[in-house]
Chains A and B, each alone.
Chain A
Amino acid sequence: MEKSIISVLGKDRVGIIATICSYLAQNNVNILDISQTIVGGLFQMMMICDTEKCSKDFHEVADDLHDIGDELGVQIKLQKEEIFEKMQRI
């Protein structure tokens, strides 16, 4: 398993999760967990995924998600999980 984090930040609108999920399904990325919150109209979402069996290169997926974010008017990032574990946990 190669755990990765997709984070989304921006103004809420219809279809953000749907668009991302269908892209992930097309590229064989399994979603392990989703959490989201809306604070004052600001949409924050995080998905934990397994990118090990992904049909595309990790960096290509990151670029695609970035472009999808531009179309939806939100910021989408794909990052490997370790960075959060290392920086936030002892």
Chain B
Amino acid sequence: MPSLSEVVDTNKMFEKDNLDVRTITMGISLLSCIDSNLEVLKKNIYEKITTTAKDLVKVGKEIESDYAIPIVNKRISITPLAFIGSSACKTKEDYVELAQVLDQAAKDVGVNFIGGYTAIVAKGMTKSEELLIRSIPQAMAKTDCLCASVNVGSTKTGLNMDAVKLMGQIVKETAILTKDRDSIGCSKLVVLCNAPDDNPFMAGAFHGVTETDNVINVGVSGPGVINEAIQSVKGKNFTELCEIIKQTSFKVTRLGQLVAQEASKRLNIPFGILDLSLAPTPAVGDSIAEILESMGLEEVGCPGTTAALALLNDQVKKGGIMASSSVGGLSGAFIPVSEDQNMINAAASGGLCIEKLEAMTCVCSVGLDMIAIPGDTEATTIAGIIADEAAIGMINAKTTAVRIIPVIGKTLGDSAEFGGLLGFAPIMKVNTKSCAEFINRGGRIPAPIHSFKN
């Protein structure tokens, strides 16, 4: 039986340190919906989602109440839509119609995001995949809770540079079509390399074709709890610092495991994976940058930042893996700028630049995330940033991503306001020297030598 101190300790994590379960994401396979008639396809998709996920929000709330814990988001991920729409969608507009159906289905079951407006084009693009990609700007402008992602490369296939170039243009177009809301469309669009099939976190969530019909994936969080634990080892050596992060990460992951098992049991849908990513929010005390600063950095971005993040990411995984046998997704630490108060402060003070963030992405779980840049940044420059990040992922066999927002009409010194969990972001400086000639070559960067393991 638990002791009084254990009960007090556990509840303190929720009340004072912002511990929460960030998301229960239901993965739904839409493969059975495929039809060559667009109207039939739309009906099939709507019905599949609204029947499979009808109890998701209700069950989420019941679990919250049973354990008195916050479960912040209930979400859905679907099979990459480029597979599902390939025989019915003949134009970009056809895909946009599907986007609107997905958006409506998500709203009707009460989830806050649905992910899977996705094309996996790591090696080449089919006509259908290209149509979906070209429809993204309109789809993002006409929907509220739909998230889009494009996987442009992998360690096994190399980088599809045609797709990288196209995504530079698509990010820019998406920004233009949502310029009245600080180009918010781009906050729901992510370009990935080595995208996992089971990620529960938006905007990159989709239900991969390697998955079963439906699964429950859970994403935990808890930067505040880790930060609080680190305070207790101030001045101690790295061994003790690592140990305390590992122990705390264990507790956080066990919470996720419990929620995932309960949700799976109550919804009668198999438990997929637990993603142990530390995910910040703009709330005070819910910051990854603050953890790094608690380790002894004056401000995130200063020398030592990459080492601190590497240590954090690795210890989180070590503690988490001990706590759950089904760890997957992205797992590690997220470093979005606009969603993390101390990152915002460092970016605003000039101490944190895109190049340092790029270095940090080599050792954290994802990539350049929620970074606002001047609206007049060239599409080829955006493609260059995507190519750099994807190259890091490809060579290091890790997931990387770019979610970058060229805020139309704004420039250095301004800031963009996205609201809610997405936060706000100061516009960051981009190196404006041209990479157009490099990007315009087209074709593919071959897979690295270490991918040939057969």
Q: Determine if A62 and B65 form an interchain contact, defined as CB atoms under 8 angstroms apart.
A: yes
Cα–Cα distance between A46 and B3 once the two chains are bound (Å): 8
A44-B8 contact in complex given A78-B68, A79-B67, C-beta closer than 8 Å: yes
Write out, one digit per residue, whether chain A residues 45-63 have a CB within 8 A of any chain B CB (1) or not (0). Answer: 1101000000000110010
CB-contact partner of A48 in B1, B8, B67, B255, under 8 A: B1
- Residue in A closest to B62 when the chains form the complex, CB atoms: A59
- Residue in A closest to B6 when the chains form the complex, CB atoms: A88
- Residue in B closest to A82 when the chains form the complex, CB atoms: B258
Q: Determine if A83 and B6 form an interchain contact, defined as CB atoms under 8 angstroms apart.
A: no
A5-B65 contact in complex given A48-B1, A85-B2, A86-B258, C-beta closer than 8 Å: no
Chain A residues near B69: list those with CB within 8 A.
Answer: 83
CB-contact partner of A88 in B10, B62, B65, B67, under 8 A: B10
Chain B residues near A30: list those with CB within 8 A.
Answer: none
Nearest-Cβ distance from residue A81 to partner chain B, whole angstroms: 7
Q: Find the residue from B8, B251, B257 having the highest chain A CB count within 10 A.
A: B8
Q: Does B449 lie at the interface of the complex (its beta carbon under 8 Å from any beta carbon of A)? A: no
Q: Determine if B4 and A87 form an interchain contact, defined as CB atoms under 8 angstroms apart.
A: no
Cα–Cα distance between A28 and B276 once the two chains are bound (Å): 40
Q: Determine if A77 and B11 form an interchain contact, defined as CB atoms under 8 angstroms apart.
A: yes
Q: Determine if A46 and B66 form an interchain contact, defined as CB atoms under 8 angstroms apart.
A: no
What would 8 more interface pairs be, CB under 8 Å, given A45-B4, A46-B8, A77-B11? A7-B7, A9-B8, A35-B3, A44-B8, A48-B1, A78-B68, A86-B257, A87-B10
Nearest-Cβ distance from residue B406 to partner chain A, whole angstroms: 43
Q: Determine if B68 and A77 form an interchain contact, defined as CB atoms under 8 angstroms apart.
A: yes
Within 8 A of A (CB), among B1-57: 1-4, 6-11
A-B contact list, 7 entries, CB within 8 Å: A59-B65, A77-B68, A79-B67, A79-B68, A83-B69, A86-B254, A87-B255
Q: Determine if A5 and B2 form an interchain contact, defined as CB atoms under 8 angstroms apart.
A: yes
Pairs of residues from A and B, 4 with the lowest C-beta to C-beta distance, nearest first: A84-B2, A88-B6, A83-B67, A86-B254
Q: Find the residue from A9, A35, A79 having the highest chain B CB count within 10 A.
A: A79
Q: Determine if A84 and B66 form an interchain contact, defined as CB atoms under 8 angstroms apart.
A: no
Chain A facing B: main interface SS = strand
Q: Determine if A87 and B254 form an interchain contact, defined as CB atoms under 8 angstroms apart.
A: yes
CB-contact partner of A33 in B1, B62, B68, under 8 A: B1
Chain B residues near A36: list those with CB within 8 A.
Answer: 4
Q: Does A80 lie at the interface of the complex (its beta carbon under 8 Å from any beta carbon of B)? A: yes
Q: Does A26 lie at the interface of the complex (its beta carbon under 8 Å from any beta carbon of B)? A: no
CB-contact partner of B11 in A7, A45, A85, under 8 A: A7
**Size band of the A side of the interface?**
20 to 34
Chain B residues near A37: list those with CB within 8 A.
Answer: 4
- Residue in A closest to B19 when the chains form the complex, CB atoms: A87
Chain B residues near A59: list those with CB within 8 A.
Answer: 62, 65-66
- Residue in A closest to B66 when the chains form the complex, CB atoms: A80
**Using a Cβ–Cβ cut-off of 8 Å, how many residues does chain B contribute to the interface with A?**
21
Nearest-Cβ distance from residue A88 to partner chain B, whole angstroms: 4
Within 8 A of B (CB), among A64-84: 77-84
Chain A residues near B257: list those with CB within 8 A.
Answer: 86
A83-B1 contact in complex given A7-B11, A77-B11, C-beta closer than 8 Å: no
- Residue in B closest to A62 when the chains form the complex, CB atoms: B65
- Residue in A closest to B12 when the chains form the complex, CB atoms: A9
Q: Determine if A79 and B4 form an interchain contact, defined as CB atoms under 8 angstroms apart.
A: no
- Residue in B closest to A34 when the chains form the complex, CB atoms: B4
- Residue in B closest to A35 when the chains form the complex, CB atoms: B4
Chain A residues near B254: list those with CB within 8 A.
Answer: 86-87
Write out, one digit per residue, whether chain B residues 239-262 have a CB within 8 A of any chain A CB (1) or not (0). Answer: 000000000000100110110000
Chain A residues near B7: list those with CB within 8 A.
Answer: 5, 7, 46, 84
Q: Determine if B2 and A80 form an interchain contact, defined as CB atoms under 8 angstroms apart.
A: no
Write out, one digit per residue, whether chain A residues 4-45 have a CB within 8 A of any chain B CB (1) or not (0). Answer: 010101000000000000000000000001011100000011
Nearest-Cβ distance from residue B129 to partner chain A, whole angstroms: 42
- Residue in B closest to A33 when the chains form the complex, CB atoms: B1
Nearest-Cβ distance from residue A22 to partner chain B, whole angstroms: 22
Nearest-Cβ distance from residue A15 to partner chain B, whole angstroms: 20
Chain B residues near A84: list those with CB within 8 A.
Answer: 2, 6-7, 10
Cα–Cα distance between A6 and B245 once the two chains are bound (Å): 29
Cα–Cα distance between A37 and B5 once the two chains are bound (Å): 10
Cα–Cα distance between A78 and B68 once the two chains are bound (Å): 7
Q: Determine if B8 and A80 form an interchain contact, defined as CB atoms under 8 angstroms apart.
A: no
Cα–Cα distance between A81 and B7 once the two chains are bound (Å): 10
Cα–Cα distance between A33 and B4 once the two chains are bound (Å): 11
A87-B251 contact in complex given A35-B4, A37-B4, A81-B2, C-beta closer than 8 Å: yes
